[in-house]
Structure formats: C-alpha cells, structure tokens
C-alpha cells in the first residue's frame, strides 16, 4: 500500500511540471526519433528493393509491401496487450528495440537471402516498441491537462525528424552504395535510440513499470520469459504469411473481428459514459483505416511512380533522386508546418472558432483528396516518354501533409483521452491496428493500380497510375464529407473531451 502511494506521489510530481513540456518528453522524443529513423529507413527501401534487387513484379511488390506493413502495425495491438497485462511499457519497448536491431543486422548480412527473415524480426519488434512509447507520452500528463496535445505535437515532430533522416540516408545508401550498408545503418541508429531510453528511464518514475510488479519475482519472470519465447516462436508463421500474401488475407480477416470482440468484452465492464467515449474512439479508428489506405500509397505505388515516372529535377536543381524526395518530403513538410498548424489552432481557440476533433478529421480527408488530384495532374506535365514533373509531385505531398496534420497528431492524443487508463495500451494498439488495415488496403489498392501497367511502357504506366490517383481522390473527398455530416453526433459521444 505504501509503495503504491509513493508511486502515485512520484507520478503526480512528474505531471505537475512547469512550462510547456516535461523533461521526460524530450527523452522519449529522442528515443522515438531514432526508432523512426530505423523504421522509415526500412519502409522507404521496401518496394524499390523488392523490384530492383529481388526482381519482384510491381503488382506483387505492392501486395508484399502491404502485407509487411500490415503485420508491423497489427502486432502493435498484440504488443500493447502484452505490455498492459504482463511486461509493462518499459520492458516491452526495450524488447521490441532489441528485435528491431537484430532484424536490421540480419538483412544487412545478406540482403537478398535474409530479407524476409530479418523483416520478421522488425515486424515483431515494432509491435512491442511502437504503441508503448506513445502510451508513456500520454502518462506524462494528468487527466484534462491542456498541454497534452502540444506534447503529442512535439512527439510527432520527433517521429518526422527520424523519418526524414531515415528516408533520406537509407534510400540513398541502398540505391547508390550498398544495400547492406543501408540496412546496417538502420540497426546502428536503433542502438542509439535504445541506449537513450536505457540511460533516461529512471526519470520516468512509476511510468511504464510492469502491471505484475506485486507478484513474486519468480512468477513474474516466468510470465515475461513466456512472452519473449512466444514472440520468437511465432516468427516462422509470420515468415510464411509475408512470403505468401494470400495467408495475409486470412490473418487480416481474423485479427480484426477477434480484437473487436475482445474490446466489446472490455467495454461491458465500463460505465455508460466511458462506453460512449469508446464508441467515439472507434469512429476515429474506422475512418483512420481509410485515411492510411490512401496515405500509405507513399511507400507502395507512389514509390514505384517515383522510380519509373519522375524526372530527377526539383525547383531547377538537377540530379535529385525522386525516391529520396518521395520518402522524405512529407516528413520535412510536417516538421515545418506542424508549428504553423499548432499556432493556427491556438489562434482559432482564442477566437472560439477552432474546429473540433471530428471536423479536423474531416478536413484531413478533404486535403487528402486534393493531394491525390494533384498527383493525378502530373499526367499533364509529362513528356512523350511518360516522365513528369517532380515539382508537381512534391506539391501533392505538401497538400497531403496538411491532411496528415489535421488527423494524425490528435489521433494519438485522442486514444488516451477517450479510453480509461487501464485500456490505454490496448486502445493505442487498436489505433495502430487500424493503421495495419490501412496498410493492408493500401497494398491492395496499389496492386490494383499497378496491375494494368505490368510490362507496360513508362508512358502507359503514367496513365494507369494517375487515373488510379484520381479515383482515390474521389473516395477521400466522399469520406471527408461524411465525417463533417456526422460530426455533431460523434462530438456528443465524446462528452467533455475536445
């Protein structure tokens, strides 16, 4: 009892920080930044590596990209669940980081032969790492603290600094020097991130400790070891499903309904007010599936579009690699404009005209639809060989970034606002599971766009891809309008949460 009281006092001391950000947020910022370097470095290389080095056709590469990304995000739900019930956020994060390091170095040892095996380690590792560091950020703030959104905004900047560096360095190293060096670089920076967390975790007080800390040490360690062994034992099954994308279909058809049933089981135990908030959270989760299905064309079909159809010239500078731009410019725009959007929301709040979270989600889809119309418009700037403007393509990413800034930073924050604390890890996992379905659908959409262009000329591929982007633009605009229409109902379910 005394130990629990001391932990509560320690947590209150952390949450009663002065200024805009707690010091612990900067430690988590740096840890996440280097982890995202590793993740986005690997993500940026996936499709180009599979097409250019493994000789996989464009359609199959899109499907395998979707499968790999789907498993990465699906395992965030499982990682969040085990963190909530057994490991705690700290041990889960550390274990996940070790697996990601192992995965990067396994691929680096022999990229062509060990690509899928190393990818399995990355999938499971990210599942244990990603949802739990985001949840620890949420615990730095007391309920109702208005500084929470600003904290998640800063944390989101860390994500994008890492993504910018990883997308630039790893793709450049892989395409122009050595794929082994590129994958190895991802592992090295992950070590930096894990060491950062290791040397700063004492400042976290009780945040992230095992929920089984009151059990006898031997019993708790037995449970933990079982989780570690189980996460290694499942990798052969993941390897099979990633290589055979039809098995991914079975997995995705299963995990969604199972997790919803589990969530409904947990919701039965809640009060009526808590259930209403959880229902509103599910609305955000469902629409986020659609958002990421469109947005994540960046790693699939847009990556191949950049590889095949973009001129290496940006704002008059020649020799600019289109794939480096495709993998970095979104992150650069997020870093630049996240501050602008943050100040805009503050100004609108003072004028009492700030849109609520549901309307922001709707605006995110409208920007997303506009971005895909810009990608479609690249066809009007193409030459006879099907090579088109990198400038217009980059403008599309500027618009898509505006959509992301309306949706993604507040999504992380909303999951901790709308769910009771005992379900934070699970709900953060659900948020990333929605991303898994988005990635999965993104692979299917990308494969559909690429299918008609298989073995076609660059000029024919240009028409196929841009016509596909026009359709995605239409769907995104429809989703945005629907969200704006239902916003009053969802806002009522959210109650006092803004």
The per-residue DSSP string of 99-112 comes to: HHHHHHHHHHH-HH
Q: Is 128 domain-assigned? A: yes
Residue 315 or residue 20, greater confidence: 315
Give the model confidence (pLDDT) of 306-330 as tens digits: 888 889 888 888 888 888 888 888 8
User: What domain range is 389 assigned to?
Assistant: 21-494
Is residue 286 predicted with pLDDT exceeding 70?
yes
Which residues, 6 or more positions from 482, have their beta carbon under 8 angstroms from its beta carbon?
A: 362
Q: What is the rounded average pLDDT of the residues 294-310?
A: 84
- DSSP per residue, 437-449: HHHHHHHHHHHHH
Query: Confidence class of residue 370 from pLDDT cuts 50, 70 and 90?
Result: very high
pLDDT of residue 219: 82
Write down the pLDDT at residue 7.
52
Q: What is the pLDDT of residue 1?
A: 42
Q: Does 7 map to a domain?
A: no
CATH number at residue 238: 1.20.1250.20
Weakest-pLDDT range from 7-21, 185-199, 247-261: 7-21
Q: What is the pLDDT of residue 105?
A: 93
**For residue 3, is it within any domain?**
no
Counting the structural domains of the chain, the total is 1
Residue 8 has pLDDT above 70, yes or no: no
Residues 169, 235: Cα–Cα separation, whole Å: 28
Residue 12 falls inside a structural domain = no
The answer to whether the CB of 162 falls within 8 A of the CB of 186 is: no
What pLDDT is recorded for position 366? 94
Judge whether 5 lies within some domain.
no
Residue 209: DSSP 8-state: -
In a domain, 10, yes or no: no
Per DSSP, the three-state class of 264 is helix
Dump pLDDT digits (tens) for 74-105: 787 777 778 878 888 788 888 988 999 999 99
- Alpha-carbon gap, residue 480 to 56, rounded angstroms: 35
What Cα–Cα distance (Å) separates residue 262 from each residue in 51, 280, 410, 426?
39, 17, 25, 10
In a domain, 4, yes or no: no
Q: Which of 30-34, 41-45, 479-483 has the lowest mean pLDDT?
A: 41-45
Task: Return the number of other C-beta atoms located less than 10 Å from residue 73's C-beta.
Answer: 26
* pTM, entire model: 0.77
Mean pLDDT, range 346-369, rounded to an integer: 85
Which H/E stretch holds residue 139?
helix 111-139
DSSP string, 293-362: HHHGGGTTHHHHHHHHHB-SEETTEES--HHHHHHHHHHHHHHHHHHHHHHHHHHHHHTT----HHHHHH
Give the list of residues 6+ apart from residue 126 with CB closer than 8 angstroms, or none.
39, 72, 75, 76, 96, 100
The answer to whether the CB of 294 falls within 8 A of the CB of 476 is yes
Q: What is the pLDDT of residues 139-152, one digit of tens each?
A: 788 877 777 767 77
Reduce the DSSP state of residue 25 to 3 states and report it: helix
**pLDDT above 90 as % of the chain:** 13
Q: What are phi and psi of 388, to 5 degrees?
A: -125, -175
Query: Rounded to whole angstroms, how far apart are CA atoms 264 and 278?
Result: 10
- State whether residue 383 is helix, strand or coil: coil
Q: For all residues of the chain together, what is the average pLDDT?
A: 82
């Amino acid at each position: 009892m005394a130990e629990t009281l001391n932990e509560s006092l320690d947590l209150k001391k952390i949450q009663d920080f002065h200024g805009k950000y707690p010091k612990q947020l900067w430690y988590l910022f740096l840890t996440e930044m280097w982890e995202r370097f590793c993740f986005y470095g690997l993500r940026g290389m996936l499709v180009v590596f599979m097409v250019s080095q493994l000789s996989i056709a464009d359609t199959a590469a899109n499907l395998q990209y979707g499968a790999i990304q789907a498993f990465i995000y699906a395992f965030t739900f499982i990682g969040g669940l085990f963190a909530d019930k057994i490991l705690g956020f700290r041990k889960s994060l550390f274990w996940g980081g070790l697996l990601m390091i192992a995965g990067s170095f396994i691929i680096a040892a022999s990229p062509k032969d060990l690509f899928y095996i190393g990818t399995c380690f990355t999938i499971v590792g990210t599942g244990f790492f990603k949802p739990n560091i985001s949840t620890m950020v949420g615990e730095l703030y007391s309920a109702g603290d208005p500084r929470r959104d600003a904290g998640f905004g800063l944390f989101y900047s860390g994500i994008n600094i890492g993504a910018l560096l990883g997308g630039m360095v790893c793709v450049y190293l892989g395409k122009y020097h050595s794929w082994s060096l590129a994958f190895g670089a991802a592992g090295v920076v992950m070590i930096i991130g894990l060491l950062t967390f290791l040397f700063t975790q004492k400042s976290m007080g009780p945040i992230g400790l095992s929920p089984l800390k009151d059990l006898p040490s031997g019993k708790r360690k037995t449970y933990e070891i079982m989780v570690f062994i189980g996460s290694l034992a499942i990798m052969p099954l993941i390897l099979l499903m990633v290589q055979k994308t039809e098995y991914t279909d079975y997995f995705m058809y299963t995990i969604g309904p199972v997790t919803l049933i589990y969530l409904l089981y947990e919701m039965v135990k809640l009060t009526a007010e808590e259930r209403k908030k959880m229902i509103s959270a599910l609305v955000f989760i469902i629409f986020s599936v659609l958002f990421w299905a469109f947005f994540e064309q960046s790693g699939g079909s847009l990556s191949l579009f950049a590889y095949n159809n973009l001129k290496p010239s940006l704002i008059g500078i020649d020799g600019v690699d289109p794939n480096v731009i495709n993998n970095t410019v979104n992150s650069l725009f997020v870093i630049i404009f996240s501050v602008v959007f943050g100040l805009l929301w503050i100004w609108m709040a003072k004028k009492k005209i700030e849109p609520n979270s549901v309307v922001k989600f709707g605006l995110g889809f409208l920007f997303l639809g506009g971005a895909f119309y810009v990608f479609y418009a690249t066809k009007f700037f193409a030459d006879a060989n099907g090579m088109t403007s990198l400038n217009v393509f980059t403008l599309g990413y500027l618009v898509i970034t505006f959509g992301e800034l309306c949706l993604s930073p507040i999504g992380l924050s909303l999951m901790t606002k709308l769910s009771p604390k005992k379900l934070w890890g699970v709900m953060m996992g659900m948020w990333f599971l929605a991303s898994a379905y988005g990635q999965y659908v993104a692979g299917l959409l990308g494969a559909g766009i690429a299918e008609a262009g298989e073995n076609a000329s660059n000029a024919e591929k240009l028409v196929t891809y841009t016509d596909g982007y026009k359709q995605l633009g239409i769907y995104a605009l429809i989703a945005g309008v629907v969200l704006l229409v239902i916003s009053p109902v969802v806002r009522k379910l959210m109650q006092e949460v803004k």
